[in-house]
């Protein structure tokens, strides 16, 4: 992986070498193996390299032979060998073995639509000096980030938000609407950022910018629909899933450097580690984090998985003082981001980077194969099911038929999948609680809509209940929270993380699964989420390992906010400071009340963590004016 930066200016003055150097230095942690720049005709590109493929000749920015096309690229393309062969058959000649050059040749052959052919994770900026266009593009799922800032006479882009504060312009303007979205979701959904002038490029999108500054909205180049296949037996589904996951893991292992795997001990990471152990000849190195608080530590399961797979496990116990890194971590995210599992992700990434520059992870299994508890609750409130259940109890068959027909009509109008209901399931701080926090003059912000949620709902409103939930997570929670968390926490240490369960081939499989391969009840009537994935894992691991209660990668957050603990000390230092900028917008008595609500009987650590992160970020960015 790498850090990329760039800027085009079309009036006032030419690009400044010092400017692009400052921007690129801000992402230096993403690429410790090299640095490069291009400055030409009002365009400047910067690159920090983490060398994974072709370390000798893959330096960037990279150009074609006549230097009319230059690219700064952050990513790994898993089908680059196949694309290279296809392009060579068209007459293109290659000077390197890198996937970066494949991006250049693919653009020469197919223009901006070349991204449709890529399989991998990527974000890049490509300058076409012949046609005077800048192409910004991001991978299908949003694994790799890309931000862009527009101002008077320029557009700049970067892998991380802090780089865009290095542009020769005034400080960007803070966005209070984004603060409301943050309170609601614990992250700021695409395309918004904490700054009004800065946007996130959506997943599966590209943006073309003329060198004279003209550009339109990003164009989406890919999407998917859930279209379940019928007539396939359980055993055939199991074989198909095992084959697809094995192939994806194998494709994600292309590398010229050593690598390992994050192994939490959960089903997803264990399945990835198992496939790696079967593919590789050398022992797999795995990395896991445990906690002193046994109820939060999955380390015993990681040890069990490592022994079963015959892999070498490196582990570390993270202690209560781990929150000492929180201010630095908040600064690296560049905007308020309150998924507390970013903290253990930071520690496991540090552990892994001491041994290897690249790892695989099990992220994406819950979205692809329906593993979240949220899905169970969402299906429990299915209006169509409730109508059928009521009719069976109260009405004869004719009335039951009528009720189901009416339910189908409602579903065709999208009313069975209600966006407000879904957002109620997903919200972090409820609307009433948010309204109570905001000072009266800011109540107009409460309930601010998210374009990404609206757009995803418009496409998925007619999906089945479970498919709707999965699609919504793919478009919002996965890129906005999960992938953002992993990218920043790992690239802080210059560690590349690959996600074989977030892959085009795996998603094609997941989108074809009938309901009973995603969600099925066992003999006791209990729901089995991720049914098919667990069937594959159950070939090797015993039922008590495969079907234990889902734990997640959390921290003992509630305990850390009690008196004398590190979270409480940070809260008192940051949030309770009378000079905190939180009180520019929030009622002091309502902020203090959040701590009063926290007790052994009531865990209120979610809102506490959110306000703590926001308070730290505001303290670090006092020069930012909000409106």
| Residue-wise pLDDT tens digits, 22-37 | 999 999 999 888 899 9
* Position 403 pLDDT exceeds 50: no
Lowest mean pLDDT among 20-24, 144-148, 551-555, 582-586: 551-555
* Position 53 pLDDT exceeds 70: no
* Position 61 pLDDT exceeds 50: yes
| Residue-wise pLDDT tens digits, 118-155 | 999 999 999 999 999 999 999 999 999 999 999 999 99
Rounded (10°) CA dihedral 384, 389, 393, 396: 40
**Proportion of the chain above pLDDT 90, given as a percent:** 79
The helix (H) or strand (E) run that includes residue 121 is strand 120-128
* Position 422 pLDDT exceeds 80: yes
Paired strand residues for 285: 260, 312
**7-16, 219-228, 543-552, range with greatest mean pLDDT:** 219-228
Per the model's pLDDT, the better-predicted residue between 555 and 306 turns out to be: 306
**Before 437, cis peptide (omega within 30)?**
no
What is residue 474's three-state secondary structure? Answer: helix
Give this prediction's pTM. 0.93
Residue the block writes with tokens 């490196």: 314
How large is the average pLDDT for residues 60-66? 94
List residues with catalytic annotation: 2
| Residue-wise pLDDT tens digits, 499-534 | 999 999 999 999 999 999 999 988 777 888 999 999
Paired strand residues for 126: 71, 135
Which pLDDT belongs to residue 12? 65
* Position 397 pLDDT exceeds 90: no
* HEC secondary structure over 42-76: CEEEEEEECCCCCCCCCCCCEECCCCCEEEEEEEE
Whole-number Å distance between alpha carbons of 581 and 624: 11
Which two three-digit tokens encode residue 136? Answer: 């910004």
The helix (H) or strand (E) run that includes residue 207 is strand 205-210
Residue the block writes with tokens 């009528």: 402
Which pLDDT belongs to residue 252? 95
How large is the average pLDDT for residues 574-592? 96
Contact 184, 121 (CB under 8 A): no
Running DSSP on this structure, what letter comes out for residue 116?
G
């Amino acid at each position: 992986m790498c850090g990329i930066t760039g800027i085009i200016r079309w009036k006032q003055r030419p690009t400044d070498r010092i400017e692009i150097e400052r921007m690129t230095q801000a992402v230096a942690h993403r690429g410790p193996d090299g640095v490069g720049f291009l400055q030409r005709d009002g365009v400047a590109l910067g690159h920090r390299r983490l060398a994974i493929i072709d370390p000798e000749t893959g330096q960037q920015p990279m150009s074609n032979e006549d230097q009319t096309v230059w690219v700064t690229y952050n990513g790994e393309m898993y089908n680059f060998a196949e694309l290279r062969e296809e392009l060579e058959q068209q007459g293109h000649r290659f000077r390197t073995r890198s996937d970066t050059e494949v991006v250049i040749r693919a653009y020469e052959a197919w223009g901006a639509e070349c991204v449709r052919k890529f399989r991998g994770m990527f974000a890049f900026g490509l300058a076409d000096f012949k046609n005077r266009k800048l192409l910004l593009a991001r991978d299908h799922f949003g694994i790799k980030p890309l931000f862009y800032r527009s101002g008077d006479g320029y557009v700049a882009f970067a892998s991380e938000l802090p780089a865009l504060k290095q542009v020769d312009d005034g400080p960007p303007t803070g966005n209070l609407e984004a603060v409301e979205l943050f309170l609601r979701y614990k992250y700021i959904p695409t395309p918004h950022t904490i700054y009004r002038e800065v946007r996130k490029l959506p997943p599966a999108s590209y943006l073309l910018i003329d060198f004279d500054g003209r550009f339109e909205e990003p164009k989406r180049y890919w999407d998917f629909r859930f279209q379940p296949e019928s007539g396939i037996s359980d055993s055939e589904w199991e074989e198909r899933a095992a084959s697809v996951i094995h192939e994806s893991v194998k494709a994600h292992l292309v590398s010229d450097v050593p690598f390992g795997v994050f192994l939490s001990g959960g089903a997803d990471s264990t399945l990835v580690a198992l496939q790696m152990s079967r593919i590789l000849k050398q022992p797999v190195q795995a990395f896991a984090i445990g906690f002193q608080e046994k109820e939060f530590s999955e380390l015993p399961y990681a040890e069990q998985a490592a022994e079963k797979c015959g892999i070498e496990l490196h582990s570390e116990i993270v202690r209560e003082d781990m929150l000492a890194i929180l201010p630095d971590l908040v600064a690296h995210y560049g905007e308020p981001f309150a998924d507390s599992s970013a903290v253990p992700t930071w520690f496991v990434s540090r552990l892994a980077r001491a041994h290897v520059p690249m790892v695989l992870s099990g992220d994406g299994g819950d979205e692809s194969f329906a593993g979240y508890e949220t899905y169970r609750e969402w299906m429990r409130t299915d209006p169509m099911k409730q109508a059928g259940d009521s009719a069976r109890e109260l009405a004869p068959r004719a009335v039951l038929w009528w009720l189901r027909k009416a339910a189908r009509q409602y579903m065709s109008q999208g009313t069975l999948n209600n966006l407000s209901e879904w957002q109620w399931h997903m919200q972090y701080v409820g609307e009433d609680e948010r309204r109570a926090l905001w000072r009266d003059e800011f109540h107009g912000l409460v309930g601010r809509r998210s374009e990404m949620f609206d757009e995803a709902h418009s496409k998925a409103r007619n999906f089945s209940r479970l498919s709707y939930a999965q699609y919504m997570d793919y478009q919002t929670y996965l890129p906005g929270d999960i992938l953002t968390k992993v990218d920043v926490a790992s690239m802080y240490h210059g560690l590349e993380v690959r996600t074989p369960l977030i892959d085009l081939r795996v998603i094609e499989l997941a989108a074809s699964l009938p309901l009973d391969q995603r969600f099925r009840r066992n003999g006791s009537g209990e729901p089995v989420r991720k049914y098919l994935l667990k069937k594959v894992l159950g070939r090797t691991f015993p039922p008590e390992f495969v079907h234990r209660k889902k734990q997640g990668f959390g921290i003992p957050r509630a305990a850390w906010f009690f008196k004398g603990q590190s979270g409480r000390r940070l809260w008192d230092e940051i949030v309770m400071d009378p000079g905190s900028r939180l009180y520019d917008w929030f009622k002091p008595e309502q902020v203090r009340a959040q701590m009063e609500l926290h007790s052994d009987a009531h865990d209120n650590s979610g809102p506490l963590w959110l306000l703590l992160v926001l308070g730290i970020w505001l303290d670090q960015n006092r020069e930012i004016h909000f409106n």
